Structure 1
Amino acid sequence: MIVKVCGMRLASNIREAETSGADWMGFIFYERSPRFVGTLPEYLPQHLQRVGVFVNSDYSYIINKVCQFRLDYVQLHGQESPELCRSLHQAGAGVIKAFALREPDDLKQTALYAPYCDWFLFDTPSDAYGGSGKRFDWKLLDSYEGPLPFLLSGGLSPESIESLSRFRNPWWQGIDLNSGFELHPGEKDIPRLKTFINLFKTLDL
């Protein structure tokens, strides 16, 4: 299972989080987010996959950040088109498309994006495009049948271990951690993060 820690900003916190057991680290390039990364941190992870999170950004802005931060993936969290996903994929970027799920029919749109993405991420609906601290109804994913693996996001916290241990879907391949592990927006509680990841990676999933 992949563990992604998102919303990182501070060089010292990034360095510490790199030792937490996470596999991917996310940086948010959405200016309205309190976790927005406006400048290049003095330290970036050397051993984790780097993910840039964007909300309705244009192609040139995304590509600029891919080059500046040496991103492995771009995560698109807004109303981006399949065509933009295709262009980014053709440029060599890994593409993660996020979908906020309210009802089962919301999953139908994934079919349009699947040819141009590597992963999907399913999250809780929020005007702030993520970081809501709230969990959506995971039963909505009972009807998801692929063809891409997905990350589970939205409201995950140290108290989520039991519910995650019971969750099953053959296409589920990871989790996305953010606000539930923060001291402040953009600053993670490293001991809590490490404890949770260690527990999660021992689950029989």
Structure 2
Amino acid sequence: MLFNKLFKKKTKPFMPQIIKVCGMREAQNISSVVYSGANMIGLNFIPNSPRYVTQLSTHAGIIPDVGSLDYRKKTNLAQLLAEKQVRLCGIFKDDMPQTIVTRVVNFHLDIVQLHGSESPIMMDNLRSSLDPDIHPGIQLMKTITIVSKADFAQCKPYEGHADYFLFNTKADNTERFDWHLLKAYKGKTPFLLSGEISERDVEAIQAIQHPLCIGIDLDSQFETAPALKDTAKIKHFIAQLRKAEV
């Protein structure tokens, strides 16, 4: 027994399957972030957010919010996303289902992240509206605010309705996630971690042991301005995470 304790096999450091960079808007910046190693891009469709994707021309390097102008056919970004197998995630908060459907069509979203008080029934209805006729295989992610172990009880009603959870801190997203709380999650739905993740968190992320943690969400700690990401910082961060894979 003592021998087993002393020579116990070292746990392999955790490497997220999904590295989501959220709150992006400019095509050139998105391309740079993809080359930095991200494999999911978050587009914010919450109107009061400083990262809101508005109706702007691609001549300004911005992804347009218009159905008649398909940016995937008119820019090199579409080809890059396909080549790198990068998925687009649209973030919505208590929005009208038809608005969400329109954004899925216009922006070819692969995932819909619901950031408000959307019910499981609403999620089921949304999925039925999109899959299979509009977007076969569309996935739904539900944001859950976690500040204590008791908050994981919020997940139970969404089991079987959400494909992923995103565990965040408070609504203003200005506090770091307490990694120790994850031990209390006993659900069956895979999840991503958010909550002010920064370059300082490499070791904490590598130490995650929860089997259902599949990704991380990077946002304001990697910005030079709202919606503009520091690609050098992201590239360095991802490289540090991957060092332990070798």
TM over 0.5: yes
Q: Does 1:135 align with 2:180?
A: no
Offset of 1:170 from its aligned partner? 1.1
**Structure 2 residue corresponding to 1:78, chosen from 96, 101, 116:** 116
Please give the per-residue CA displacement for 1:113-151, whole angstroms capped at 9, x wherever unaligned.
12111111100112x4x4x2x212222221112211100
Aligned to 2:5: none
Name the Cα RMSD after superposition.
1.5
**Structure 2 residue corresponding to 1:107, chosen from 134, 147, 152:** 152
Q: Check whether the contact 1:7–1:186 (CA below 8 A) recurs between aligned residues.
A: yes
**Structure 1 residue corresponding to 2:100, chosen from 58, 62, 74:** 62
Aligned to 1:23: 39
Aligned to 1:50: 88
Q: Check whether the contact 1:89–1:117 (CA below 8 A) recurs between aligned residues.
A: no
How far apart in 1 are the matches of 2:55 and 2:163? 27
Aligned to 1:98: 143
Q: Which moved more, 1:43-52 or 1:12-21?
A: 43-52
Aligned to 1:195: 236
In our comparison, the structure showing a higher alpha carbon Rg is: 2
Q: Which moved more, 1:75-84 or 1:194-203?
A: 194-203
**Structure 1 residue corresponding to 2:193, chosen from 133, 152, 163:** 152
Q: Check whether the contact 1:88–1:95 (CA below 8 A) recurs between aligned residues.
A: no
Structure 1 residues without counterparts, runs of 5 or longer: none
**Structure 1 residue corresponding to 2:24, chosen from 2, 5, 8:** 8
Aligned to 1:179: 220
Give SS of 1:13's match: helix
How far apart in 2 are the matches of 1:50 and 1:31? 18
Q: What is the TM-score with the length of structure 1 in the denominator?
A: 0.92
Offset of 1:108 from its aligned partner? 1.1
Offset of 1:203 from its aligned partner? 3.5
Please give the per-residue CA displacement for 1:144-199, whole angstroms capped at 9, x wherever unaligned.
12211100101101111121122221111110001010010100001111111122
Structure 2 residues without counterparts, runs of 5 or longer: 1-16, 57-62, 64-70, 132-137
Give SS of 1:18's match: helix
Please give the per-residue CA displacement for 1:93-120, whole angstroms capped at 9, x wherever unaligned.
2100010112212111211112111111
Q: Check whether the contact 1:89–1:116 (CA below 8 A) recurs between aligned residues.
A: no
**Structure 2 residue corresponding to 1:168, chosen from 209, 217, 223:** 209
Q: What is the TM-score with the length of structure 2 in the denominator?
A: 0.77
**Aligned length, in residue pairs:** 200
How far apart in 1 are the matches of 2:189 and 2:121? 18
How far apart in 1 are the matches of 2:228 and 2:49? 13
How far apart in 2 are the matches of 1:64 and 1:2? 26
